[in-house]
């Protein structure tokens, strides 16, 4: 049976890279039935819809969501990010953001292969806080970080499960020396889960130290688990040390499968290069490979990853064509 995919191309280069990703999925012989959803900044400017409850209910009927990128300079920052991307992550309970990194860090010689598991529904992203006396010298703004035992525990459990299929090592990244309340909750959840996986080795790094290791010694990592904001920042760095953000893929997963999971490149909508053919579709193609893993099509996903591993250059569609020609199998 065909996998039913909701496609949100979005803004800027989003639709361009998503088209290449679907081209490659089809070339790999996977049967997909796609439905386009016109969402993003452009849609919002046209009729005010960001993501209505009706549209969200429709999305729930699909096996997966493939997203390009959202955001346009004409809409103030936060509106589309919170109203569309974060709303999907929260409402569909996409509590794991899985971001793999394979490459050789600039200046390095030894290749690395690690995965960041970013908690995807909590931390400062929940929007807790507020502002008082805005625009005056007495202005006060607070932005709280929400950390629940359940949220940390399930992210850690996913990381340990993943490590069991890999090199059996998980590193917790946090800032326990300063964020003592949240850090302590994370540490205890991490160790409670670790007790269920005696074969898995563990480590802890402060997030600032992890930034140095990402650049100087990324081979030390297998699976990293961290909170939402640290994970956001670290995964841009992960992209930068693994061939660039044009290769960085991600899966927003609901591992309990109570709703569709969503797959998107780490990069944004890059409105400055829209229509130029300069966008590298590889991150979107690798995100589609993560989608195929989740749909039980791992053989096709592996072929796509192998096809992407050999460097390709060219325009957006040329890269898509070359990778598509390599996966036919």
Clarify whether 197 is annotated catalytic.
no
How much is the CA Rg of the chain, to the nearest whole Å? 20
The whole-angstrom separation of Cα 86 and Cα 288 is 20
DSSP state, residue 146: B
The whole-angstrom separation of Cα 14 and Cα 267 is 9
Stretch that binds Mn ion, among 94-102, 186-194, 219-227, 230-238 (CB under 5 A): 230-238
Under the binding rule (CB under 5 A), the answer on residue 222 touching Mn ion is no
Under the binding rule (CB under 5 A), the answer on residue 232 touching Mn ion is yes
Clarify whether 158 is annotated catalytic.
no
Residues numbered 273 to 302 that lie near ligand IPM (CB under 6 A) are none
Under the binding rule (CB under 6 A), the answer on residue 266 touching ligand IPM is yes
Under the binding rule (CB under 5 A), the answer on residue 297 touching Mn ion is no
Q: Which is nearer to ligand IPM, 32 or 266 (CB)?
A: 266
The whole-angstrom separation of Cα 13 and Cα 29 is 25
Q: Which is nearer to Mn ion, 157 or 174 (CB)?
A: 174
Helices (H), the chain: 14-27, 41-47, 53-59, 79-80, 87-91, 149-164, 180-194, 207-216, 228-240, 282-294, 298-309, 316-327
253 alpha carbon, distance to own chain's centre? 9
Judged by CB under 5 A, the number of residues near Mn ion is 1
In angstroms, give the least distance from the CB of 75 to ligand IPM: 12
Residue with the closest Cβ to ligand IPM?
81
Interface characters, 69-108, with ligand IPM (x: CB under 6 A): ------------x---x-----------------------
Task: Please choose, from the candidates 289, 241, 266, the residue with its C-alpha nearest in 3D space to the C-alpha of residue 112.
Answer: 241
Residues designated as active site = 125, 175, 208, 232, 236
Which positions touch Mn ion (CB under 5 A)? 232
């Amino acid at each position: 049976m065909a996998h039913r995919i909701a496609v949100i191309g979005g803004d800027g280069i989003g639709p361009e890279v998503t088209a290449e990703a679907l081209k490659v999925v089809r070339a790999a012989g996977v049967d997909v039935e796609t439905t386009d959803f016109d969402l993003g900044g452009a849609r919002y400017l046209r009729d005010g819809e960001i993501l209505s409850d009706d549209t969200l209910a429709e999305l729930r009927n699909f096996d997966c969501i493939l997203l390009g990128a959202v955001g346009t300079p004409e809409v103030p920052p936060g509106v589309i990010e919170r109203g569309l991307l974060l709303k999907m992550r929260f409402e569909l309970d996409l509590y794991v953001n899985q971001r793999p990194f394979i490459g050789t860090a600039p200046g390095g010689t030894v290749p690395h292969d690690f995965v960041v598991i970013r908690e995807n529904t909590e931390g400062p992203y929940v929007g807790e806080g507020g502002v008082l006396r805005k625009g005056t010298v007495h202005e006060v703004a607070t932005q709280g970080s929400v950390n629940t035992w359940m949220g940390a525990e399930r992210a850690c459990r996913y990381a340990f499960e993943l490590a069991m299929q890999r090199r059996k090592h998980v590193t917790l990244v946090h800032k326990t020396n300063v964020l003592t309340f949240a850090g302590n909750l994370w540490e205890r959840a991490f160790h409670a889960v670790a007790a269920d996986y005696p074969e898995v080795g563990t480590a802890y790094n402060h997030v600032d130290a992890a930034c140095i290791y990402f650049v100087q010694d990324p081979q030390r990592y297998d699976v990293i688990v961290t909170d939402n904001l640290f994970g956001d920042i670290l995964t841009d760095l992960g992209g930068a040390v693994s061939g660039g953000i044009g290769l960085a893929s991600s899966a927003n997963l609901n591992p309990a499968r109570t709703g569709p999971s969503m797959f998107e490149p780490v990069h944004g909508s890059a409105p400055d290069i829209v229509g130029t053919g300069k966008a590298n579709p590889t991150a979107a193609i690798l995100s589609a490979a993560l989608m195929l893993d989740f749909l039980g099509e791992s053989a096709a996903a592996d072929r796509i990853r192998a096809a992407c591993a050999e460097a390709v250059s060219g325009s957006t569609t040329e890269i898509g064509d070359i990778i598509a020609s390599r996966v036919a199998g």
